[in-house]
Amino acid sequence: MRPTPALAVALAAMMLVSMTIGAASVDLVHAFGDPRTMLVLLESRLPRTLAVALTGAALAVAGVLIQALVRNRFVGPDTAGTAEGAALGLLAITILWPASPLWLRMVAASVSAMATTALFIAIIRRLPVREVMLVPIAGLVLSGVLGSVVTFIGWQTDLMQYIGTWLFSGEFSGVISGRYELLWIAGGAAVLAWFAADRFAIIGLGDQVATGLGLGTRAVLRLGLAVVAVVTAMVVTTVGMIPFVGLVVPNIVARIMGDNLRRTLPVVALSGAVLVMACDLAGRLVIHPYEVPAGLILGGVGSVLFLWLLYRRPRHG
Amino acid sequence: MDKRGLSILLALAACLLLCAGLWMFQGLGGGNRGFILSLRASKLAALVVVAFAIGVSTVLFQTVAANRVLTPSIMGFDALYVLLQTLLVASLGTAGFASLPPGPKFMAEIALMTAMASLLFGVLLLKGSRDLPRMILTGVILGVLFRALSSFVGRILDPNAYAVVQSVSFASFNKVQPGLLPFAAAITALACLAAWRLAPRLDVLALGRDPAVSLGLRHRGTVLQVLALIAVLVSVSTALVGPVSFFGLIVAGLAHGLMRSTRHAALLPAAALSGAILLVGGQWLFERVLDQGATLSVVVEFAGGLFFLYLLLRGHIR
Amino acid sequence: MIRIDGVSHRIGKAPILHDITTHLPEGRLTALIGPNGAGKSTLLRLIGRLEPLQQGRVSVAGRDIAATPTEDLARVMAILGQQTSIASRLRLSELVGFGRWPHHRGRPTAHDHARVAEALEAFALTPMADRFLDEVSGGQAQRAHIAMAFAQDTDWLLLDEPLNNLDMAHARALMGRLRDLVDRQGRSVGLVVHEINYAAAWADHVIAMKDGRIVAEGSANEVLTEDVLSDLYDAPIAVASHQGRPLVLHHV
Ligand SMILES: Nc1ncnc2c1ncn2[C@@H]1O[C@H](COP(=O)(O)OP(=O)(O)OP(=O)(O)O)[C@@H](O)[C@H]1O
Ligand SMILES: [Mg+2]
């Protein structure tokens, strides 16, 4: 069975379900005749469903990129200091210029996320031992350190409630039309990555190979960083961090389909969307009519998947 | 112990006394002295208990894991404690949980935690030691999983349970429940004593599994004993102040740096004392001088995290 | 005597040792030889209870290793594994000092200190006794590990490739010292060697292993023949004689 159509069908089905679940029950068949139902659909359900799909897809693609950039399968945008970097940038601009326009905040978040991710890459390039598992550990600790800076500043400036929505398990319950559109930028960045897919695949093979093939590694590195940072910054500011998507989805896809990014990126994006969608649906159904944040569900599901990846036997040997 | 080691320990003890004196008597004012003193004394006791628990448990953990950059909470010990507590709240209900007497409840939690941690981390350490980095990553991810499960259970139960979970999920040196203190102090004292008595065997354990076995150490049994002690100490410190990931790292690093020895008879007291100095002195500085009582835990975590990255970059992880 | 009775071992699903029955004679120097991956280290680790026995029995000087408390075994045999990595950062004197631990369990006496000094001296380590393990050369560190096993002062000494990293002179000195232990003090030694001529020159008893099985055992003259060796290493090997002992011409 080819993965792309199957995933697309699964995603479409879940999106339909997502449209119907919620406090007010919606009958899709008769919705077009009923302006009130239509309003619920267009103002709340559709935006939420789109937000979930966009987030999942974009984060999964960002995961592929950062894994190619650091050449390590056990990192993701949530374990490389990126999310905390975005929060730090937001915090800085909020404090320095409280009335700043939205676009400026997004730029600040993205730039700052890019800086911290670059810091992460600089750190792991200096790790003395070439030890695969040290890279994620360094990333987790760096995230922790940056997170404590964010928390500290948040405390000092009474901005803790914002920080809570950025860094703690992300959720989609607040998404309505007009408050999720930034995620389209994240989606756009992910599409951009697809156009440069071959370059990232080559970068993933190593600096020497890349240089041998005549590829300027710095430019690709910068492009990759930019995509990862923009995606993460948009997600963090709109719905809060969703853990593990960028970590496990690329691993699973690479295990089944290999590392030819031009072929795999669409599958990665679809799988990410499916995974987050499933977790969001689960979060909405498990204690209906209340909700459990999708980020929380992913924390559980994702860590189990991750442990499985860690302990599965390699296919050969 | 050699002269140098002994004199450093004495100096540390004197320094701790000094900090304690400052903490107790500085800026007493004229008002209700007895009340203020008893308040200060109970907080001092809490800080010292926590510092001893964290310092000793970290040194012990670094010894069983044969690694100088780990702490029990990096490996998810305290997350496990929080999860167990959440499950307790979940099965007893918030009201039932609150109505239990704190002492016996605490003991039961510790017993449960010891059993679970010995099982889980025993398997991890005894089976996984061939591939150290993978073992560490497993612990870290287990921690994430435990935290997610705690929040999840808290969420689906009821908001009150969630509040209980939240309150034990963040570190703060300012929220010690006085009711727990006597139990915590007694248990910590016993556990530290047990660790001290294990010291010669810990020296051998620190060599690594193969050399320890060939020297006739009962490796498995010793590892499990040490894990049980760690579980007890982590339970105490988490119950009192919440999860503190990196503080132990600083303390153990200090102990190694000061004593320049691998003898546990020297390392354990050094870690406990320097931890207590840092906490009592730090709390005095932040609360009385800088007027920022709540931020010590954040600062400690920050410094500890940086220290971890530094150790990593220096190639100390092995 | 060390008796090995029907020992089989597997790692995961892969069989490593197949039903091995043999012995290491008492008061002799026994050499284990064989190609890489033959299972020599695994066998030695099983004897030294570094690896739990899965099947079969091993007894050392009449004591079943599965039934004897490990602290008692540590006073009967000392084992040095092939990977000699020590987790903590130790001075050479401290490392060698740990060799006495089975005897004093944490409270060293003057006698223990004397034995440590003796072991350091025996392996020419006294001048660097206060240096850390990571501040000496590979061969010096290897000698320190051997000195630690030596200080353990046991009837049986099991060494896995002790000649690793040693220069010619120290390698010969070590073999001479082991010979001396056997001849004058009545100890017994088992060791894995790759340089077959050390086995030829110094060993009383040779056990040849391949693919987890024993292919030949006996005196050096019986085992180190052209037929056995060519078969063992899958390469034609000529054997000459030197002072009544075999001399293997594997390098030409
Ligand atoms: N941890 C392990 N996991 C899987 N296989 C192993 C492991 N250790 C050893 N083996 C396998 O067991 C077999 C025997 O290994 P052993 O170390 O006993 O060989 P050896 O004879 O000592 O070799 P060498 O001369 O290279 O030291 C080898 O085929 C090896 O690949
Ligand atoms: Mg070997």
Which ligand is in closest contact with the Cα of C45?
1
- Number of domains chain B contains: 1
Q: Do C90 and B261 contact (CB within 8 A), yes or no?
A: no
* Cβ <8 Å between B203 and C98: yes
* Percent of chain B clearing pLDDT 70 (strictly above): 89
| Residue B163 pLDDT | 67
- For A243-257, B185-199, C29-43, C118-132, which range has the lowest pLDDT when averaged over its residues? A243-257
How far is A183 from B9, CA to CA, in rounded Å? 58
CATH assignment of the domain containing B165: 1.10.3470.10
Q: Do A106 and A237 contact (CB within 8 A), yes or no?
A: yes
| Residue B53 pLDDT | 92
Q: What's the half-sphere exposure (Cβ side, CA atoms, 13 Å) at C36? A: 0
* Cβ <8 Å between A133 and B136: yes
| Residue A19 pLDDT | 80
Q: Do C84 and C140 contact (CB within 8 A), yes or no?
A: no
How far is B109 from B115, CA to CA, in rounded Å? 10
- For A272-286, A289-303, B96-110, B186-200, which range has the lowest pLDDT when averaged over its residues? B96-110
Chains in touch with B (≥3 Cβ pairs < 8 A): A, C
| Residue C210 pLDDT | 92
Strand duo C205-210 + C213-219: pairing? antiparallel
> Is C35's pLDDT higher than 80?
yes
- Answer whether residue B261 is part of any domain: yes
Nearest atom, ligand 1, residue C82 CA: 27
> Is A1's pLDDT higher than 70?
no
Look at residues C83, C77, C220, C230 and name the one whose alpha carbon lies nearest to residue C160: C83
Say how many Å lie between the first and final Cα of chain A, rounded: 27
Mean pLDDT, to the nearest integer, of B236-240? 83
Q: Taking the model in full, what pTM does it have?
A: 0.81
Nearest atom, ligand 1, residue C44 CA: 18
Domains along the sequence of chain A with CATH: 3-312 (1.10.3470.10)
| Residue C31 pLDDT | 94
> Is A290's pLDDT higher than 80?
no
Mean pLDDT, to the nearest integer, of A52-63? 91
> Is A316's pLDDT higher than 50?
no
- Answer whether residue B296 is part of any domain: yes
Q: Do C49 and C73 contact (CB within 8 A), yes or no?
A: yes
Q: Do B233 and B54 contact (CB within 8 A), yes or no?
A: yes
Confidence of residue B133 (pLDDT cuts 50, 70, 90): low
Please provide residue C8's backbone torsions phi and psi, each rounded to the nearest 5 degrees: -120, 155
* Cβ <8 Å between A155 and B140: no
pLDDT in tens, A83-126: 889 889 988 988 888 888 888 888 888 889 989 988 888 888 88
Which ligand is in closest contact with the Cα of B131?
1
- The conformation of residue C79, written as its DSSP 8-state character, comes to E
| Residue B194 pLDDT | 93
Look at residues B210, B190, B203 and name the one whose alpha carbon lies nearest to residue B259: B203
| Residue C39 pLDDT | 92
* Cβ <8 Å between B147 and A129: no
**Shortest alpha-carbon distance between residue B298 and chain A (Å):** 6
Nearest atom, ligand 1, residue C45 CA: 18
Confidence of residue B302 (pLDDT cuts 50, 70, 90): confident
Query: How many helical (H) and strand (E) elements, i.e. helices and strands, does chain B have?
Result: 12, 0
- For ligand 1, is residue C39 a contact (CB within 6 Å)? yes
What sign has the CA pseudo-torsion B118, B120, B122, B125? negative
What sign has the CA pseudo-torsion A93, A94, A99, A100? positive
* Cβ <8 Å between A287 and B156: yes
Beta bridge pairs of residue C207: C32, C217
Interhelix angle B296-313/A134-156, nearest 10 degrees: 150
Beta bridge pairs of residue C106: none
On whether the C1-76+155-172+180-252 domain is CATH 3.50.50.60, my answer is no
Q: Do C224 and C55 contact (CB within 8 A), yes or no?
A: no
What sign has the CA pseudo-torsion B189, B190, B193, B199? negative
- Answer whether residue B33 is part of any domain: no
| Residue B318 pLDDT | 47
**Ion ligand 2, residues whose Cβ is below 5 A away:** C 41, 82
Residues of A with CB under 8 A from a CB of B: 74, 123, 126-129, 131-134, 136-138, 140-142, 144-145, 148-149, 151-152, 155, 169, 243, 286-287, 292-293, 296-297, 299-300, 303-304, 306-307, 310-311
**Shortest alpha-carbon distance between residue B90 and chain C (Å):** 40
User: How do the domains of chain C map onto residue ranges?
Assistant: 1-76+155-172+180-252, 87-153
> Is C247's pLDDT higher than 80?
yes
Domain hosting residue B202, numbered range: 46-313
- For A187-191, B19-23, B257-261, which range has the lowest pLDDT when averaged over its residues? B257-261
Beta bridge pairs of residue C60: C2, C63
Three-class secondary structure of residue C184 per DSSP: helix
Mean pLDDT, to the nearest integer, of B62-87? 81
> Is A259's pLDDT higher than 90?
no
- Answer whether residue B68 is part of any domain: yes
Output Rg (C-alpha) for chain C, integer angstroms: 18
Neighbours of C250 (CB within 10 A): 14
Say how many Å lie between the first and final Cα of chain B, rounded: 27
Nearest CB to C86 within list B67, B200, B207: B207
- For A105-119, C78-92, C193-207, which range has the lowest pLDDT when averaged over its residues? C78-92
Strand duo C213-219 + C156-160: pairing? unpaired
B123–chain A Cβ distance below 8 A for any pair: no
H-only helix segments in chain C: 40-47, 70-73, 92-98, 101-104, 110-122, 138-151, 168-185, 196-202, 220-223, 226-233
Nearest CB to B215 within list C72, C81, C98: C98
> Is A314's pLDDT higher than 60?
no
- Answer whether residue B35 is part of any domain: no
- The conformation of residue C243, written as its DSSP 8-state character, comes to T
User: Which residues, at least 6 apart from A141, have a Cβ–Cβ distance to it below 8 Å?
Assistant: B305, B308, B309, B312
Q: Is C164 exposed, middle or buried (0-12, 13-18, 19+ CB in 10 A)?
A: middle
Mean pLDDT, to the nearest integer, of B103-109? 80
Q: What's the half-sphere exposure (Cβ side, CA atoms, 13 Å) at A6? A: 5
pLDDT in tens, C91-121: 899 899 999 999 988 888 999 999 999 999 9
| Residue A140 pLDDT | 81
Cα B305 to Cα A135, A146, A235, B70, B278, distances in angstroms: 15, 9, 26, 11, 16
Of these ranges, A215-229, A278-292, B216-230, the one predicted with the greatest mean pLDDT is B216-230
Which residue does chain A place closest to B303, by CA atoms? Answer: A145
| Residue B281 pLDDT | 86
- Answer whether residue B84 is part of any domain: yes
* Cβ <8 Å between A128 and B313: yes
- The conformation of residue B179, written as its DSSP 8-state character, comes to G
- Answer whether residue B13 is part of any domain: no
Mean pLDDT, to the nearest integer, of A38-52? 81
How far is B111 from B117, CA to CA, in rounded Å? 10
- Answer whether residue B12 is part of any domain: no
How far is B16 from B281, CA to CA, in rounded Å? 8
| Residue A317 pLDDT | 34
* Cβ <8 Å between C102 and B206: no
| Residue C158 pLDDT | 93
Average pLDDT score over chain C: 90
> Is B60's pLDDT higher than 90?
yes
Cα A53 to Cα A37, A273, A277, distances in angstroms: 22, 4, 6
**Shortest alpha-carbon distance between residue B266 and chain C (Å):** 13
- The conformation of residue C164, written as its DSSP 8-state character, comes to T
Confidence of residue A137 (pLDDT cuts 50, 70, 90): confident
Nearest CB to C87 within list B199, B206, B215: B206
Beta bridge pairs of residue C238: C249
Neighbours of A208 (CB within 10 A): 9
A109 versus B315: which is more confidently predicted?
A109
Chains in touch with A (≥3 Cβ pairs < 8 A): B
Mean pLDDT, to the nearest integer, of B223-237? 88
Burial A15-48 (b: 16+ CB within 10 A, else e): beebbebbeeebeeeebeeeeebeebbeebbbbb
Tokens matching residue C100: 């006495």
